[in-house]
Amino acid sequence: MHICRRGLTYFQRYRLRVMAEHHVREYVKRVASIDIENYPEWDLTKPLPKQPVPDLKQTLETYLTVTKSVVSPEEYRRTEILVDDFRREKGIGQVLQEKLRQFAETKENWAYSWWLDDMYMRARLPLPVNSNPGMVFPRQHFETRRQQLRYAARLISGILDYKTIIDAKALPVDRCRHKEKGQPLCMAQYYRLFTSYRLPGHPKDSLLISGMDSHHIIVACKNQFFVLDLLLNYQRLSEDDVFTQLERIADMADEGAKTAKPVGLLTAADRTTWAHAREDMMRDMSNRESLDLLERCMFVLCLDRGIPISFNHQRSVDETSLNVRDDVSLILQMLHGQGSSVNTANRWFDKTMQFVISRDGSCGLNYEHSPSEGIAVVQLIEHLLKYMQEVHEKKLRRMQSICELPQPQQLEWSVSPGVEGTIQATMENIDRSIRDLDLYVLRFDHFGREFPKKNNMSPDSFIQLALQLTYYKIHGALVSTYESASTRRFRLGRVDNIRANSPAALEWVKAMVAKNEYTDHEKMALLRKAMGWQTQTMTQTILGQGLDCHLMGLREMAAEVGLPVPDIFTDDTYRKSNHFTLSTSQVNTTMDTFMCYGPVVPDGYGVCYNPHPNDIIVVITAFKSHAETQSDYFAYTLEGSLLQMSELCLKTNQEHEFVADKVRNASLQNGPLSNESLELPAKKGRHLLHQHGTDIVQSNGHAKKDLE
């Protein structure tokens, strides 16, 4: 039953609004006060520094180092010659370096626009699978449609509460955790999440920022799109009001389901095709109005159909027998909707934030990647989910309902024969792409990030080197590896690349797969050396001295000033160095959530890992069309690599402890120690590896591809 606000005074309406916003402000204030107490030395009123232009000599030395492990000796010698010519005194490299420094002085961030175009706007591949990540939220349990819509209303109200802080730019400031610990990070990514939209174009897309005055969202239901206005007569809708409107939308969607055209599939087309289709659609006024409402909305809410258990991975025997959806099925729904006949047409992939709430209780997010990195999205989502739970548990009083709610508006489309043909072609293409995606979720529960820490190792470096070892076991070589590293300590900072494929890593992985050629101490020394490289490169990169953005800047600067593209950038080695067969990212969460994305090249893997204190979640993707890549096989090999590395740590630690005990006992007895007395006791057998790990370390140094 609705309670009218008619007759309420301005003061009463104002008081209701303040009460609705009070709790979220207290929540954020509580988090922010802890933050300030921990890092009192940093002045948050000072602007962040500009991203520096790295040293040319150091960049080129790093480039030669990382390419040496992935190209042939002949290719490397040719690249050395090109690099020497590029960096010679008063050569083209030094000219471009000086031009880049001058350019950087005129920009807030010299790399941002070039990087955005290079990574996203010029890319022509479809967004689902190839660009947009998916994220799984903690599972919900809905027995009825009303429960699904109640949760959706609570989510919307929670976002609106939290958006008051975002709009005021009052979020607690993120802090550096490494090098200059506590230094403030750029928060610009957060403030783009509910205001941005990726507009298709040719030859490149553009990122639209709509401002913070939008008060509507778009609800997708059964492949139809509806406008849900969240402000009426200057009053925000209560949670009950939102629920009422969602019920109306669900009823309207039921009525129109049979005749609805799957227009949302257009956003799953390649970017040039979608740009041309959009130009065609913009000739019609109803289409222009519908597209404008989509492009200006805060976010899209997708009310999905439930997914059958038959979509589970073939190896998820336990979940399937219990009639429970597995991790693979859940994340695929968030990543692409699982096909045009399921939920893929119930999306608008250009919108930055798409929240997914399925009838069967699976919930999550699909987000367009260009405005923000995964870390910022995860931070905001976890704050939001925790806040929603706090409000729900305390049963805080919500705003009163408004009477006489207007009927939600359904978006109307006029589809020409040409656009109709594009929709049909896109349907076939996206379904083919979805069938081609090979995804597996590894929940590694033998140890988590605390194990490397106890061995004085970086958890991230430990996992990155496990990935190098895994790839080498399967393919017998190292490849160019992308690991995003945040540069948010600088104004408008995004990411640069940490490359784990170093000569030190190659030397170590060869030692790990060799049969009886290296002692455990030698393997551990090589592991420490490879980790030293990884840690040093990570530090340089987060401090603005990364390789990839600098080389991109020098290349773009040549075009900017009208110079020919230097030979170093037309060299085949440069192409290979940017063919990221291993695309990796660490995305930490504190809740039972995880994220994933597709491979970035046809013969590659996408690896998104989430190390918890005592376990690690790893989502691996590949393409079935490439015969040499297989996600579940990579996962099992990775499990064996992690166990092999932990065994190496435990064995060398035990040996150190044995020698230390001998020395301590001898010093107490004041007796000399002979070399023989320091010999280790004979092993009664190797430590047993996990049942999958035993198949990984073979006598020829490679893994057998036989999982059946």
- Catalytic residue set: 369
Tokens 């970017």 belong to 271
Residue 146: partners with Cβ closer than 8 Å, 6 or more residues away: 247
Q: Are 23 and 157 in contact (CB under 8 A)?
A: no
Tokens matching residue 599: 């491979």
Give me the phi and psi of 630, to 5 degrees please.
Answer: -150, 120
Q: Are 158 and 383 in contact (CB under 8 A)?
A: no
Cα 512 from Cα 648, distance rounded (Å): 10
Helix (H, G, I), strand (E, B) or coil at 613: coil
Cα 583 from Cα 608, distance rounded (Å): 8
Where do runs of H (alpha helix) occur along 43-144? Answer: 56-68, 73-86, 92-105, 112-116
Where do runs of H (alpha helix) occur along 478-565? Answer: 503-513, 520-540, 548-560
Burial of residue 704 (CB within 10 Å: 0-12, 13-18, 19+) is exposed
Cα 461 from Cα 483, distance rounded (Å): 11
Helix (H, G, I), strand (E, B) or coil at 610: strand
HSE, side-chain direction, 13 A CA sphere, residue 400:
13
The residue type at 164: T
Cα 148 from Cα 141, distance rounded (Å): 8
**How, if at all, do strands 616-623 and 605-611 pair?**
antiparallel
Count the residues in the chain.
708
Tokens 């929670």 belong to 158
Cα 409 from Cα 639, distance rounded (Å): 51
Task: Quickly list DSSP for 375-418.
Answer: HHHHHHHHHHHHHHHHHHHHTPPPPPPPSSPPPPEEP-----HH
Give me the phi and psi of 365, to 5 degrees please.
Answer: -150, 140
Q: Are 326 and 313 in contact (CB under 8 A)?
A: yes
In terms of Cα–Cα distance, which of 566, 538, 541, 571 is closest to 554?
566
Cα 363 from Cα 307, distance rounded (Å): 12
Q: Are 573 and 79 in contact (CB under 8 A)?
A: yes
Paired with 596 in beta bridges are 134
Burial letters 212-230, b for 16+ CB under 10 A, else e: eebbbbbbbbbbbbbbbeb
Q: Are 352 and 121 in contact (CB under 8 A)?
A: no
HSE, side-chain direction, 13 A CA sphere, residue 356:
36
Paired with 231 in beta bridges are 236
- Inter-CA distances, 52 with 110, 536, 555, 606, Å: 9, 18, 17, 30
Cα 36 from Cα 182, distance rounded (Å): 10
> How many beta carbons lie within 10 A of that of residue 103, not counting itself?
17
In terms of Cα–Cα distance, which of 696, 651, 659 is closest to 675?
659
Helix, strand, coil share of the chain (percent; to 5) = 50, 15, 40
Tokens matching residue 617: 């979640």
Cα 289 from Cα 241, distance rounded (Å): 25
Where do runs of H (alpha helix) occur along 541-669? Answer: 548-560, 567-570, 572-577, 631-669
